[in-house]
Amino acid sequence: MSVIVLVEHTEGNIKKKSFEAVQYAAHIAQQTGTTATAVVLGSIADAEMEALGNYGAKKVVHIADDRFNELHARAYTSALIKVAQAGESKIIVTLYDINGRAVAPRVAVQLKAGIVAGALSYPDIDNGFVIKKAVFSGKAFAFVNVVSDKKVIMLMPNTFPLVKTDGKASIEKLDISFTEKDFGIKVTAVNKVVGEIPLSDATLVVSGGRGMKGPENWGLIENLAKELGAATACSRPVADAHWRPHHEHVGQTGGTVRPDLYIAVGISGAIQHLAGVNGSKTIVVINTDPEAPFFKAANYGVVGDAMTVLPRLTEAVKKFKQHK
């Protein structure tokens, strides 16, 4: 009956957001009087998996098949179904991210389970199985009741802060057989951005807009990002003008970010841009135009020219870090 949670890792390192997912699953397990079982796929050391116990997993099921190092959603699905069936599980948790979104719906169909995509709360089990999620690109929240017996939840990353415990998890190795169908998609090339923090995972983001005037000024954004340990992003006009690569574009038609801190520099704050960033916990807006609509959505505002404000802010961060 345990709550199953899918764990993601990058080359053997468990992602922070997967600890969040495990902690979330453990909380639901507690609510429903059971335990959480983490499922880890691909090449990873036992020592790394043991850390999952710190976030509430009682058991880790590891399927070491190295084909899992790439996302093969149907194989992932088979693995999760196998574990779920073995434990007669009714609740499956994944992240609401690229991998989770490829796998969870398949699992749901096989289990005939309702899905919550992008959970922002624990289930309210006193009134059914009701979970809050963002709708209309963050302009509203919906309370979704899962009416089916089995439930699949995709947790929105960076929703609950991590709390480390000294819990322990047992690790169980599992071997399962796959069909050819499970690996129908052949990956012919992978191009990972190395050394940079993936935007969707970043907890701190520095983002530039048209107010940066040109790509030659991006060093100012990068310096601040580097000092903060933040990822860099941009608005649509900037990506359209090819000042920055398209994968940095956040907004309605680009990526969505939900960092703890989003620093917007020279971005006016059109509704399409806000749709991609309004899940951010704290927003700082730096703009020369005091009328920029973005200030309305901001927690902190600075009216000033990015060319002078950014170096000062970078310097201030440096100073702050030295004093700590």
* C-alpha R_g of the chain: 21
Residues 103-162 that bind other proteins (CB under 8 A): 104-106, 108-110, 112-118, 127-128, 130, 132-148
Reference 302, options 211, 229, 223, 226; nearest CA is 211
> What distance in Å separates the CA atoms of residue 23 and residue 160, rounded to the nearest whole number?
9
- Should residue 250 be labelled a site residue for other proteins when binding is judged by CB under 8 A? no
- Should residue 252 be labelled a site residue for other proteins when binding is judged by CB under 8 A? yes
Residues 33-62 that bind other proteins (CB under 8 A): none
Which residue number, 167 or 229, has a Cβ lying nearer to other proteins? 229
C-beta of 252: minimal distance to other proteins in Å?
6
Q: Which residue has tokens 């907890």?
A: 203
C-beta of 12: minimal distance to other proteins in Å?
14
The strand pairing partners of 173, in sequence order, are: 62
What's the token pair of residue 131? 């979970």
CA distances from 40 to 61, 83, 178 (A): 6, 11, 16
DSSP characters over 271-287: HHHHHHHTT-SEEEEEE
- Should residue 87 be labelled a site residue for other proteins when binding is judged by CB under 8 A? no
C-beta of 168: minimal distance to other proteins in Å?
28
Which residue number, 167 or 245, has a Cβ lying nearer to other proteins? 245
- Should residue 253 be labelled a site residue for other proteins when binding is judged by CB under 8 A? yes
Q: Which residues contact 120 (CB under 8 A, 6 or more apart)?
A: 131, 132, 133, 134, 141, 156, 159
Q: Which residues contact 33 (CB under 8 A, 6 or more apart)?
A: none
Judged by CB under 8 A, the stretch of 33-41, 84-92, 163-171, 290-298 that binds other proteins is 290-298
Other Cβ atoms within 10 Å of 201 Cβ, number: 17
Which residue number, 171 or 226, has a Cβ lying nearer to other proteins? 226
- Should residue 247 be labelled a site residue for other proteins when binding is judged by CB under 8 A? yes
Which residue number, 45 or 189, has a Cβ lying nearer to other proteins? 189
Binding mask 203-242 for other proteins (x = CB under 8 A): xx-----------------------x--------------
Choose, by CB under 8 A, the member of 200, 207, 232, 235 that binds other proteins: 200
Which residue number, 32 or 171, has a Cβ lying nearer to other proteins? 32
Say if CB 305 and CB 217 are below 8 A apart.
no
- Should residue 272 be labelled a site residue for other proteins when binding is judged by CB under 8 A? yes
307-322: buried (b, 16+ CB within 10 Å) or exposed (e) per residue?
A: eebbeebbeebeeeee
C-beta of 114: minimal distance to other proteins in Å?
3
Residues 292-321 that bind other proteins (CB under 8 A): 293, 295-305, 308-309, 312-313, 315-317, 319-320
Residues 157-196 that bind other proteins (CB under 8 A): 181, 184-193
C-beta of 69: minimal distance to other proteins in Å?
12
Fill in the amino acid letter for 110: Q
Reference 8, options 71, 57, 66; nearest CA is 71
C-beta of 191: minimal distance to other proteins in Å?
5
> What distance in Å separates the CA atoms of residue 269 and residue 283, rounded to the nearest whole number?
11
Which residue number, 177 or 181, has a Cβ lying nearer to other proteins? 181
Which residue number, 53 or 259, has a Cβ lying nearer to other proteins? 259
CA distances from 311 to 233, 279, 306, 314 (A): 18, 27, 8, 5
